Amino acid sequence: MIGNYKKMKLTLKSVCVLIAFFCFDSLQAQQVQNVTLQLKWKHQFQFAGYYAAIEKGYYKELGINVNLVEAIEGQNPNDEVFSGKAEFGICSSDILLMHSQSKKAVVLATVFQHSPFILLASKQSGIENVHDLVGKRIALEPNAADIIVYMADEGVPIEKCIINPHSFDTKKLLNGEIDAISAFSTDEPFILQEANFEYTIISPSAGGIDFYGEILFTTDSLINKNPKLVSNFRKASLKGWKYAMDNRQEIIELIYNKYSKRHSLAHLQFEAEHTGHLILPDVVEIGYTNPGRWESIVETYKKRNLLSPSFTTKGLLYSDYLKPKANIPWKLIAIFSLIVVIIGSIALFFYKVSAKLKKEIENRIKAEMQIKKLSIAIEQSPTTILITDIKGNIEYVNPKFMELTGYSIQEVKGKDTRILKSGKTDKKTIKELWQTITSGKIWQGEFINRKKGGDEFIESALIAPIFDQIGTIINYIAIKEDVTEKKRQEELIKQKNIQLAELNATKDKFFSIIAHDLRNPFSGILGFSDLLVNSTREYSSQEISQYAGFINQAAQNAYKLLENLLEWARAQTGKIEFKPLETDLNKLVLDIISLLENSAKAKSISINNQVSANLFVFADVNMLNTILRNLITNAIKFTQTNGQITLSSLVQNNEVIITVSDTGVGIDSDTLAKLFNISEKVSHLGTNDEKGTGLGLLLCKEFVLKHGGKIWVESELGKGSDFKFSLPCVDAVNSKP
């Protein structure tokens, strides 16, 4: 027992030590180190791998925060690494020259397997090959060792050319200020192509000069001081380059949107394509360095006296600084760790299961309480709620549904919702409903449904799909409200508003007539009477008689207007009694013609009565008299001298249609639209300048409507008018039950 206890104690100690080791290691990994990577030039696809490593968090995963610094024109970016301003840099094969100058630069990775250095020469300058460069103006950037070696190898040393400082753009070449410039095959050719500039590419590779390009480097002092930092930076950088080559378009957009718009998207795509040709990611592992190839490059430099014969590559490559791995019993450690992990995992598993079960029980209790609350809410809801399957068969209804429709749950369960169908809901509404809810959306609208007893009612409904855990529709829920009474009240309010509008229009018309039409005749009476009172002695008896006639005519007009106005007002307020009786239409027409005959004769107008004899209508005699008198008076007013007016009748569909026709001036279409409208003022002078009241036709309409008939007019300008109205026949009235 004591032995087992000791073993257990020892095991616990070992576990604690292991946990402490892992915790310490984890804390150490979490310490972020800030480093600077000095770029060879401005932001472009040339440095795509480093952007990818930052964006994808490869550096951050290893506890590194990287600051990218662009190169400055006229300065050697490599010097920033040796001055301590940057921990890492990017160079070309000129790293050999740095190394020979006691600047202990170390190659961490050769990203470009081939150098991008080329010469771009103007064809206009007559340059077709490297030998044509003799005596030509060349802009040569520092560190372009590939080009210098190639030219010397071909018997064209730079001393035979006119060397100009490099402005790091193509403007001078395009302007003809220089004949050739050193450039990158991945970059400047795009600019010349866009400018339609004819050029020649002179590439060192054509002469067998094939150096490495785009080399990631650091100093030997940093490797010795912080080997883990260097290792992690190299690892993350190469991982970034792998991602950039596999996702070129993504990195192009990243560079353009986040780092620099100096190059267009098309330019960056050109650069990406040609960069891939130099990296060869499908052929060689990115960053691979061949020591033998470096020896070959060193020999080329020595032949051109760029390096001393005693120079060696010792300390140049990162592999020179990697120490042999210690002989650690990893298998034993792995087995022991596995045992600890298994024991810990089992304990953790049971702990998590226990906690999960406890949580699930708590959640289930909460869910059950929530369901209970929802159930009570649905049962007590003042709106009807029903749930159907996906075919529309009812599965559940709440008490409010049963109360409203009269159906019990037993009567509707399993039945289609069409059990409530009244047949009056628009088919388009039903189609729209199903299209909406089957597509997973909520539908809202109205139905006209039928209760169990047959009564129709209007429902406002909101219908929504119910989904299962994987998003499949399994049911539909409808929440509905009986809005029948609400609709009735809305319609009632609508009708009241219409009536109110009509009353307002009537009031406005009433006051308009009082304010304008009634004032006019009185103005005439007052004017002429003032003349007679104040200047009687100045006028002859004939003039006095004439003015008295004007006053009399104005007074008669005022009286007629007032009579019509009062009669119309009584009609509006319901003060006129409506007493329809059997009336001999022909006899009534003859009486009115005799009354108006003198007015017609004054204009030599003949009035013809073609109303059928012994034709009886069911009408209020006073109202019918007013209707006919106004229509005949209007006909006389708007008919020229020697014209004709005809009254006729037609029995049709249990009603009599009475027509008053004239051969007068007729009515234009605009005026026709305004007749019988209280809101429009329609009053014109007659053919002999007769004045009207503006109320005659409104009275006619009011009185015709009282009889349940209708009134209308058919007219054409210059061809006379036919005013027609209908009245019920006596036989039709007597035949009603």
Is the separation of the CB atoms in 105 and 98 below 8 Å?
Answer: yes
Non-local (6+) Cβ contacts of 126 within 8 A are: 132
Q: What φ, ψ does residue 85 adopt, rounded to 5°? A: -75, -20
Residue 535 CA to residue 524 CA, distance in Å, equals: 16
Residue 514 CA to residue 384 CA, distance in Å, equals: 57
Alpha-helical segments (H) within 380-483: 399-405, 409-412, 427-438
Give bridge partners of residue 610 from the DSSP assignment. 648
Q: How far is CA 463 from CA 385, 387, 414, 429, 537, in A?
A: 10, 9, 18, 13, 93
| Residues shown for the chain | 737
Kindly tell me the sign of the dihedral angle through the C-alpha atoms of 629, 634, 640, 645. Answer: negative
Alpha-helical segments (H) within 618-667: 621-637
Per DSSP, the three-state class of 90 is: strand
Q: Which amino acid does the sequence have at 110?
A: T
**Closest by Cα among 213, 211, 226 to 321:** 226
Residue 179 CA to residue 183 CA, distance in Å, equals: 13
DSSP 653: T
**Closest by Cα among 159, 150, 161 to 125:** 161
Residue 468 CA to residue 15 CA, distance in Å, equals: 46
pLDDT at 166: 84
**Closest by Cα among 516, 522, 510, 571 to 550:** 522
Give bridge partners of residue 215 from the DSSP assignment. 91, 110
**Closest by Cα among 669, 592, 582, 676 to 626:** 592
**Closest by Cα among 218, 215, 237, 236 to 86:** 218
Q: What φ, ψ does residue 110 adopt, rounded to 5°? A: -100, 100
Q: Which amino acid does the sequence have at 157?
A: P
β-bridge pairing 456-467 and 443-450: antiparallel
Q: Looking at the structure, give the CATH architecture of the domain made up of residues 581-734.
A: 2-Layer Sandwich (3.30)
CA 182 to chain CA centroid, Å, is 52
Q: Looking at the structure, give the CATH architecture of the domain made up of residues 116-209.
A: 3-Layer(aba) Sandwich (3.40)
Query: Which residues in 368-515 belong to E strands, given as ranges?
Result: 384-388, 394-397, 443-450, 456-467, 473-482
**Token match 């990577």: residue?**
37
Kindly tell me the sign of the dihedral angle through the C-alpha atoms of 17, 21, 26, 31. Answer: positive
Q: Which CATH class is domain 381-482?
A: alpha beta
Considering just the CA atoms, what is the radius of gyration of the chain in Å?
Answer: 54
The pLDDT averaged over each successive group of 10 residues in the chain (737 residues) is 44 46 46 92 94 96 95 86 94 88 91 92 90 91 81 87 87 92 92 92 86 93 94 96 95 94 94 91 89 90 87 90 66 73 75 73 72 72 88 89 88 86 85 89 90 88 87 89 86 83 64 52 69 74 75 69 63 68 91 84 90 90 88 90 93 91 89 74 59 68 90 90 90 53
For domain 33-111+216-321, the CATH superfamily is: Periplasmic binding protein-like II (3.40.190.10)
**From the CB of residue 652, how many other CB atoms can be counted at a distance below 10 Å?**
10
Residue 431 CA to residue 445 CA, distance in Å, equals: 12
pTM score above 0.75 = no
The domain made up of 492-573 has a fold known as: Helix Hairpins (1.10.287)
The H-or-E segment that residue 511 falls in is helix 484-512
**From the CB of residue 87, how many other CB atoms can be counted at a distance below 10 Å?**
23
DSSP 318: G
Burial class (CB in 10 A: 0-12, 13-18, 19+), 95: buried
**Closest by Cα among 96, 88, 187 to 143:** 96
Q: How far is CA 545 from CA 333, 529, 537, 552, in A?
A: 142, 12, 13, 10
Residue 188 CA to residue 199 CA, distance in Å, equals: 11
Q: Which amino acid does the sequence have at 194?
A: E
β-bridge pairing 711-715 and 721-728: antiparallel
Is the separation of the CB atoms in 248 and 272 below 8 Å?
Answer: yes
Residue 139 CA to residue 202 CA, distance in Å, equals: 14
Q: How far is CA 53 from CA 44, 60, 61, 251, in A?
A: 15, 9, 10, 11
Burial class (CB in 10 A: 0-12, 13-18, 19+), 399: middle
Residue 443 CA to residue 383 CA, distance in Å, equals: 17
Residue 110 CA to residue 76 CA, distance in Å, equals: 20
Residue 183 CA to residue 116 CA, distance in Å, equals: 8
Non-local (6+) Cβ contacts of 343 within 8 A are: none
Residue 650 CA to residue 611 CA, distance in Å, equals: 8
pLDDT at 25: 46
CA angle 545/546/548 to nearest 5° reads 65
CA 536 to chain CA centroid, Å, is 84
